[in-house]
Amino acid sequence: MARDLRICFVGDSFVAGVGDPRCLGWVGRLGPAAMPFTGYNLGVRRETSADIVARWQAECTPRLPEGTDARVVFSFGVNDTVLENGSPRVDPGESVANLTNVLAVAAERGWQTMVVAPPPVDDDAHNVRIAHLDERFAEICAGAGTPYARVHHELRANEVWMREVREGDGAHPGAAGYDAIAALIMPVWLEWLSR
């Protein structure tokens, strides 16, 4: 009998694929390399790690029943680092605690996890805050034995990603940008699926 592989993609607008005229985002670009599997895109615009902590279990539980190869890909952080009234929407320490929490809960449930780093936007000061969070997230994932797809610095140096973000809404790329982030995630994704 073939394995019943089910994967929930939990996160923000980048998970949802906002800005992609092909309506795939990076999630849709990874899919064909993993078939057959059942995927659930649970990306929500503007959501922070705190928002995700509040909802992810309720959304994943019915989609990842007992007896399946149940997995969760998390990706968040850009919205945490947006300044509102002079400070980040979510304190960096709380963002780190939120990632630690979701990975621990998923491990308790027997769900394998993978994390995709928060990508850069068209704002240098904001990117500095995202880069700091990226470093902290990498440490948490290393400690938890969770694969972490590094994309932040690579995409900041990627002309296509940065141009499309600039020409778009300042945060989200178009199709070629999503091609670029998917290419960075793919090796980590394939290694994770082989586990």
pLDDT tens column, 102-116: 999 999 999 999 999
Residue 129 pLDDT grade (very low, low, confident, very high; cuts 50, 70, 90):
very high
**Mean pLDDT computed over every residue of the chain:** 97
User: Which tens digits make up the pLDDT trace of 39-72?
Assistant: 999 999 999 999 999 999 999 999 999 999 999 9
Number of independent structural domains in the chain: 1
CATH number at residue 177: 3.40.50.1110
Which DSSP string corresponds to 51-88? HHHHHHHHHHGGGS-TTSEEEEEEE--TTTTSEETTEE
Query: What is the helix (H) or strand (E) element at residue 42, kind and residue range?
Result: strand 38-43
Give residue 64's domain range: 5-194
Closest by CA position to 6, among listed 32, 30, 35: 35
User: Quick check: 1 pLDDT over 70?
Assistant: no
Element (H, E) at 150: none
What is the pTM assigned to this prediction?
0.97
Q: What does the pLDDT read at residue 48? A: 98
